[in-house]
Structure 1
Amino acid sequence: MSLARNTLVQSSLTLGSRVLGFARDMALAARFGQGPMMDAFTTALMLPNMFRRLFAEGAFAQAFVPVYGGVRARDGDEAAAVTASEALSFMFAVVAGFTILLQVLMPWIMPWLLSTYRDDPAVLRVAVTATQLAMPYLACMTIASLLSGVLNTAGRFALSAAVPIFLNLCTLAPLLAAYAFPASQATVLLWVTAAVTASGVVQAALLWRGVRRLGVRLNLSWPRLTPSVRRTLALAVPGALAGGAMQINSVVSQVLAGSDEGARSVLYNADRLYQLPLGLIGVAIGLALVPRLTRAFVAGDHDGGRRTLDDGVTLAMVFTLPAAVALFTIPYFLIDATVTRGAFTSADAARTADVLRQFAWGVPAFVLAKVLTPPFFAREDTRRPMIYAVTAVIFTVIVGTALFFWISRSGGDGVLGLAVATSLSAWLNVGLLGGTLVREHVWAPSARFVGRMARVLAATAAMAAVLVAAGVGYDTLSRLLLAKEIAVLVVCGVGAVVYGAALLLFRAVTVTELKAVLRREPGSSVPSALD
Structure 2
Amino acid sequence: MLRSIATVGAWTMASRVLGFLRDMLIASKLGAGPMADAFFVALKLPNLFRRLFGEGAFNAAFVPAFAQALTQRGPAAAKALAERMAMLLTLWLAILTGLGLLFMPQVMQVLAPGFRDDPGKFELAVELTRITFPYLLLICLTALVSGVLNGLGKFAAAAAAPIFFNLLSMIALFALAPFVATPAHALAWGVTLSGGVQLGLVMWACARAGMALNLFHAPTLPPEVRMVLRRMGPGLIGAGVTQVNLAVDVIIASFLPSGSVSYLYYADRVAQLPLGVIGAAVATALLPLLAKQIHAGQPLSAHRSINRAIEISIALAVPAAVALAVLALPILAALFQRGAFGAEEARLTSHALVAYSLGLPAFVLVKVFVPGFFARGDTATPVKIGICCVALNLGLNLLLMGPLQHVGVALSTVVSAWVNAGLLAWLLSRRGQLHWDHRLRRAAPRLLAAAAVMGVVLAGLSWALAPGPGLIGIALLGLVCAMGGACYFLVAQLSGGLNLRELKRSLRR
Q: TM over 0.5: same fold?
A: yes
Identity %: 37
Q: Give the corresponding residue for 2:204.
A: 209
CA shift, 1:96, in A, is 1.4
Tell me which moved more, 237-246 or 167-176: 237-246
Matched AA of 1:508 = G
> Which residue of 452, 456, 461 maps to 2:452?
461
Does the 8 Å contact 1:393/1:425 carry over to 2? yes
Tell me how far apart the structure 2 counterparts of residues 331 and 501 of structure 1 sit (CA, whole Å).
23
Tell me which moved more, 104-113 or 93-102: 104-113
Tell me how far apart the structure 2 counterparts of residues 467 and 447 of structure 1 sit (CA, whole Å).
31
1:283–1:57 Cα change, 3 Å: farther
Tell me how far apart the structure 2 counterparts of residues 55 and 118 of structure 1 sit (CA, whole Å).
28
> Which residue of 181, 184, 189 maps to 1:194?
189
Matched, 1:438 2:435: no
CA shift, 1:478, in A, is 5.4
Tell me which moved more, 45-54 or 323-332: 45-54
Tell me which moved more, 488-497 or 422-431: 488-497
Does the 8 Å contact 1:9/1:157 carry over to 2? yes
CA shift, 1:336, in A, is 1.0
Deviations 1:191-238 (A, max 9, x none): 110111111111111111222222224321454444333211112343
Tell me how far apart the structure 1 counterparts of residues 265 and 350 of structure 2 sit (CA, whole Å).
12
1:182–1:79 Cα change, 3 Å: closer
Q: Give the corresponding residue for 1:238.
A: 234
CA shift, 1:511, in A, is 3.4
Q: Give the corresponding residue for 2:438.
A: 447
Q: Give the corresponding residue for 1:229.
A: 225
CA shift, 1:473, in A, is 4.0
Matched AA of 2:137 = A
CA shift, 1:57, in A, is 5.2
Q: Give the corresponding residue for 1:526.
A: none
Does the 8 Å contact 2:97/2:133 carry over to 1? yes
Q: Give the corresponding residue for 2:165.
A: 167
Q: Give the corresponding residue for 1:130.
A: 128
> Which residue of 484, 489, 496 maps to 1:495?
484
Q: Give the corresponding residue for 1:265.
A: 262
Tell me how far apart the structure 2 counterparts of residues 113 and 384 of structure 1 sit (CA, whole Å).
27
CA shift, 1:451, in A, is 0.9
Matched AA of 2:381 = R
Task: Compute the TM-score of the two structures, normalised by the length of structure 2.
Answer: 0.95
Q: Give the corresponding residue for 1:422.
A: 413
Matched AA of 2:244 = I
Give 1:346-357 correspondences, 5 Å limit: 346-357=343-354
Does the 8 Å contact 2:454/2:485 carry over to 1? yes
Give 1:39-78 correspondences, 5 Å limit: 39-54=37-52, 60-78=58-76
Does the 8 Å contact 1:137/1:200 carry over to 2? yes
Matched AA of 2:147 = G
1:53–1:458 Cα change, 3 Å: same
> Which residue of 492, 507, 526 maps to 2:496?
507
CA shift, 1:58, in A, is 5.9
More helix by share: 2
Q: Give the corresponding residue for 2:320.
A: 323
Tell me how far apart the structure 2 counterparts of residues 333 and 89 of structure 1 sit (CA, whole Å).
48
Tell me how far apart the structure 1 counterparts of residues 167 and 51 of structure 2 sit (CA, whole Å).
18
Does the 8 Å contact 1:90/1:223 carry over to 2? yes
Q: Give the corresponding residue for 2:399.
A: 402
1:504–1:57 Cα change, 3 Å: farther
Matched AA of 1:195 = G
CA shift, 1:118, in A, is 2.7
Matched AA of 2:250 = Q
CA shift, 1:161, in A, is 0.4
> Which residue of 372, 381, 384 maps to 1:384?
381
**Number of equivalenced pairs:** 507
Q: Secondary structure at the match of 1:437?
A: helix
CA shift, 1:514, in A, is 2.1
Task: Compute the TM-score of the two structures, normalised by the length of structure 1.
Answer: 0.91
CA shift, 1:381, in A, is 0.9
CA shift, 1:456, in A, is 0.7
CA shift, 1:107, in A, is 2.4
Deviations 1:407-459 (A, max 9, x none): 2xxxxx41111111100000111111100111111111022211111111111
Q: Give the corresponding residue for 1:251.
A: 247
Deviations 1:17-70 (A, max 9, x none): 000000000000000111111001101001122234446656632431111121
Tell me how far apart the structure 1 counterparts of residues 195 and 58 of structure 2 sit (CA, whole Å).
17
Does the 8 Å contact 1:56/1:148 carry over to 2? no
Tell me how far apart the structure 1 counterparts of residues 114 and 464 of structure 2 sit (CA, whole Å).
38
Q: Give the corresponding residue for 2:101.
A: 103
Tell me which moved more, 103-112 or 361-370: 103-112
Give 1:334-353 correspondences, 5 Å limit: 334-353=331-350
Tell me how far apart the structure 2 counterparts of residues 341 and 88 of structure 1 sit (CA, whole Å).
44
Tell me how far apart the structure 2 counterparts of residues 111 and 22 of structure 1 sit (CA, whole Å).
30
RMSD: 2.0
